[in-house]
Structures are given as C-alpha cells and as structure tokens.
Chain A
Amino acid sequence: QVQLVESGGGVVQPGRSLRLSCAASGFTFSTYDMHWVRQAPGKGLQWVAVIWRDGSEKFYAHSVKGRFTISRDNSKNTLFLQMNSLTAEDTAVYYCARERAYCTSTSCFSGVYYYYGMDVWGPGTTVTVSS
C-alpha cells in the first residue's frame, strides 16, 4: 500500500526548532521528488519545499528560506524537514507529498522532467508555535 506518514509535530516556543519526518512505504521512494506543503488554521495550501529524488537539489518558499532545511534518507525511505527559528506564522498542519514526473526519450537524456501532480499525501502533522 502506497503510504506517507508524517511525525514530529507538536507545540514549540517561538525561536525554537523542530524536525519533522515523513516515512514512505509501498513505492520506490528514491524515484520521486518529495515536497512539504503546509496549511495554517483555516487557510489554504502553501508550498514549503522540494527535494530532488537523489537529494541533489532543494528549493524553498521565500517565507522559510534560510530557516528550514529539507533532506531525505533514501536508504530509510524517509523525508525530513528541519525547522529553525520558528514563529507563530509557521503554525500549520505540515503535509509531505510525492510528485509524479515523466521524461520523454529526448528529455530524459538531458535530465528534463515534466511534472504532473502530487498524487500521494500523508495525513499531516500539526506544528503549533506558541509561548
């Protein structure tokens, strides 16, 4: 069964750190780019970060760049999000999600992928930043 399960959420004081994990199962984890997406209470979805399948590239939303670090351990089928210098604005449910991609016979050769949706999501883990 294809599955993602987040953990590590909780209540933390402003300025402190938290590390989220996302355990993957039922698919070949190392062949997917992985994302973190968050949702503040009563708000919409906000993309947070992505890491390439081999961990070679990482990209962040402007609001978390320099404070959050995404990483993965393909040998343990696990995605991480290290969150530092947390503020109240980081309070949210954090989801991990895998994104599908394909390449054509010519684009594969040059490493160009086309993305077509985040098809598997975890149930989310709640992070509350409060004093």
Chain B
Amino acid sequence: DIQMTQSPSSLSASVGDRVTITCQASEDINNYLSWYQQKVGEAPKLLIHDASNLETGVPSRFSGSGSGTHFTLTISSLQPEDIATYYCQQCHNLPRTFGQGTKVEIK
C-alpha cells in the first residue's frame, strides 16, 4: 500500500499568513494526488485534483504543486473560513490512501 505522510499535523497561523502543508508519498504516484478540506462536522470537500488543478469554486488563494512523491498545498493568505483539517489522498492505485491530516487554526 502507498503510505501518505503529511506535515505538520497541526499549525497555527495569523489571518493573512501564507500557509504550506506538505504530503509525501511512499512511492511515485505521478500527479495523482488530491487535496481535501474538512470542516468540523462536515464531509470532506475536494479542493485540488491532479496535484495542482483547483476545483471550480475554490478560492484562488489555494494552490497545489508537486509530482512524484512530494506535494504541497499552499494557502497564500489565510482566512478565518479556512479553519479546517486538510487531507491529501493518492488516486494512483488501490487501496486509496489518505494522509493523516493537518489541522489549521487561527493564531
């Protein structure tokens, strides 16, 4: 199984800060990487697919990059509504695997 390792597990930043979350795959997954946002009490929401493609309606302050085994999710200017846990997930093969999540809080 492909292991997905996210870091950090949590972070606290101020409104307007640039936030970066990293995700490392245990083997090459090309760009078959999705990012999800999950707010408390809600289902996950797909933010980015294929490592860097923003879903329709997702604010442009979110961006993704990477290929192979190393990926990043960046929030260019953190907003209060971005408080959530973020997960990476590989779509390269089965079983689908998620990172352990990164909880983002406002300082």
Q: Do A and B come from one complex?
A: yes
By a beta-carbon cutoff of 8 Å, the part of chain A in contact with chain B is 35, 37, 44-47, 50, 59-62, 95, 97, 99-100, 114-119, 121-124
* Interface mask (B28-68 → A, CB under 8 Å = 1, otherwise 0): 00001010101000111110011001010000000000000
Establish whether residues A50 and B96, one from each chain, have CB atoms under 8 Å apart when the complex forms. Answer: yes
Whole-angstrom distance between the alpha carbons of A45 and B91 in the complex?
Answer: 14
- Complex Cα spacing A59 to B93, Å: 11
State how many angstroms separate the Cβ of B78 from the closest Cβ of chain A.
21
CA distance A29 to B4 in the complex (A): 29
> A residues within 8 A CB of B32?
114-116
**Roughly how many angstroms separate A115 CA and B97 CA in the complex, as a whole number?**
13
CA distance A35 to B95 in the complex (A): 11
A-B contact pairs, 7 of them (CB 8 A): A37-B44, A44-B87, A45-B36, A59-B94, A62-B1, A116-B34, A116-B53
A residues near B50, Cβ cutoff 8 Å: 116-117
Instruction: Find residues 61-77 in chain B having any chain A CB closer than 8 Å to their own CB.
Output: none
A21 to B101, CA, bound (A): 27
Rounded to whole Å, the gap between the CB of B45 and the closest CB of chain A is 7
> Cβ of A47 and Cβ of B43 under 8 Å apart?
no
A100–B46 CA distance with the chains assembled, in angstroms: 11
Q: A46-B98, A61-B95 are in contact. Are A117 and B45 (CB under 8 A)?
A: no
Is there a chain A Cβ closer than 8 Å to B100's Cβ?
yes
Give the docked Cα–Cα distance between A115 and B46 (Å).
13
Among all A-B residue pairs, the 9 with the closest Cβ atoms: A117-B49, A121-B43, A117-B34, A115-B91, A116-B49, A47-B96, A44-B101, A45-B98, A117-B46
